[in-house]
Amino acid sequence: MNNLRPKTEQRYDNFNRKYKCLGVVGKGAYGSVSCYEDIKTKKKVAVKQFFMRSGKDDGIPITLCREINLLRELEHENVLKVQDVVIHNDGSFNMILDYCKLDLERLLAYHKTLMRLPQGPPLPPKLDDGMIKSIMYQILKGIQYLHSKWVIHRDLKPSNILINDDSHADRGVVKVADFGLARVFKAPLRRFHDDGPVVTIWYRAPELLMGAKHYTPAIDIWSVGCIMYELFELKPLFKGEEVKQNNNPNPFQRDQLDKIFTVLGKPNDQIWPTINSLPESKHLASFSETTNTLESVFKMPKESLEYDLLRQLLEYDPAKRITAKEALQHKYFKDKPSNK
């Protein structure tokens, strides 16, 4: 296992001498995230502490070792950098990451709050078009880099898109974060389906919902499309109710598919040639026939570049869905956006 342990244990004391904790910023089943400050430089870092299972002395799982070693190799302005890993004496360990105070979920929540003010918003409630273009461009740059390194993120959603705020020297820089579900998709091809559910339900690609056992980086692109819509409309596009079953790690998500079919129309083998080969295709006949109504729920004109890009990001057939590289070359980004 643990190529990490010899290197990191000797740095444990150094970590305590180098950083001071400023407070916990989030908690979950895996552990917690805290903000620390470098005592000398005053630079802030995020420290993600993972708790090991009580009573177990198995060390760090080999899969997590691979993930950490993978992330250490990633180096891009729009991908959150893992600076270091430190193992504690109790078996728990820390990932030291770049610190970003703001994430896209919080930014969207702030603008939603502006819209609900009874006296009217002091600022335009919608995100500025230039800001949206900048965020989208940077997300796609980060995803294009990951895909070029054979990495699928598999859990893109607003809370996993971080943004440097005005207090940061590189304000406005967007970083793709949280690689807990990320996997390398290079040959030999693995049955990713065996990993269990991936991608938060509202941002989950239709091929996943249809039970695809092998899938491609196109699942990340679908999620980016869902995020793009939310940036413009300040609400999720496909807000379905997730089905959870203790005896089935991958239950059929009928409500989520229904939400997608209501907006994009019910797909068939002309739109998506391989759909009938997918495990959940047996359910298709039970859905009502619907047509594409995206233009009625997305307020940008159908002739607009924004609409055209969104349409290509939300293509049913993953083989036809636009790639991150192609999306960056879309006419929507003809005038390169600024981070500022």
Q: What is the pLDDT of residue 101?
A: 84
Most confident listed range (28-37, 77-86, 180-189) = 77-86
Residues that constitute the known binding site for ATP: 48
For the cut 80, the answer to whether the pLDDT of residue 246 exceeds it is no
**317: CB partners within 8 A, 6+ apart:** 271, 272, 273, 274
Binding-site residues sit at 48
Decide: 319 and 217 in contact? Cβ < 8 Å. Answer: no
Confidence grade of residue 166 (pLDDT, cut at 50, 70, 90): low
Domains and their CATH numbers in the chain: 4-98 (3.30.200.20), 102-333 (1.10.510.10)
Average pLDDT value for residue range 283-306: 96
Given this model, what pLDDT does residue 161 score? Answer: 96
Confidence of residue 29 (pLDDT cuts 50, 70, 90): low
Q: Return the percentage of the chain with pLDDT > 70, whole number.
A: 80
Q: Give 115 or 287, the one with higher predicted confidence.
A: 287
Q: Copy the structure tokens of residue 33.
A: 């995230």
The token pair that represents 118 in the structure block: 């009874």
| pLDDT at residue 314, rounded to an integer | 99
Q: Where are the alpha helices (DSSP H) in the chain?
A: 4-9, 12-18, 62-73, 104-116, 129-148, 206-209, 218-233, 254-264, 294-297, 305-313, 324-328
Mean pLDDT, all residues of the chain: 85
Report helix, strand or coil for 284: helix
Mean pLDDT of the 231-251 span: 90
Please pick, among 98, 103, 155, 178, the residue that the annotation labels catalytic: 155
Q: For this structure, is 194 an active site residue? A: no
pLDDT confidence of 1, banded at 50, 70, 90?
Answer: very low
- % of the chain exceeding 90 in pLDDT: 56
Question: Are 271 and 321 in contact, with CB atoms under 8 Å apart?
Answer: no
Q: Kindly tell me if the per-residue pLDDT of 82 is higher than 90.
A: no
What pairs with residue 19 in β-bridges? 38
Q: Which pLDDT score, from 0 to 100, does residue 16 have?
A: 82
Q: Does the pLDDT at position 134 exceed 70?
A: yes
Find the range with the poorest average confidence among 153-157, 243-247, 309-313.
243-247
How large is the average pLDDT for residues 243-271?
Answer: 93
Sheet of 31-38: strand order equals 19-28, 31-38, 44-50, 93-98, 82-87
Please say if the pLDDT value at position 11 is more than 70.
Answer: no
Stretch among 78-82, 167-171, 188-192, 314-318 having the lowest mean pLDDT: 188-192
User: How far is residue 309's CA from residue 13's CA, in Å, rounded to a whole number?
Assistant: 50
Q: Which residues of 216-244 are buried (b: 16+ CB within 10 A; e: fewer)?
A: bbbbbbbbbbbbbbbbbbbebbbebeeee
Q: What is the DSSP letter of 213?
A: S
- pLDDT higher than 50, residue 10: no
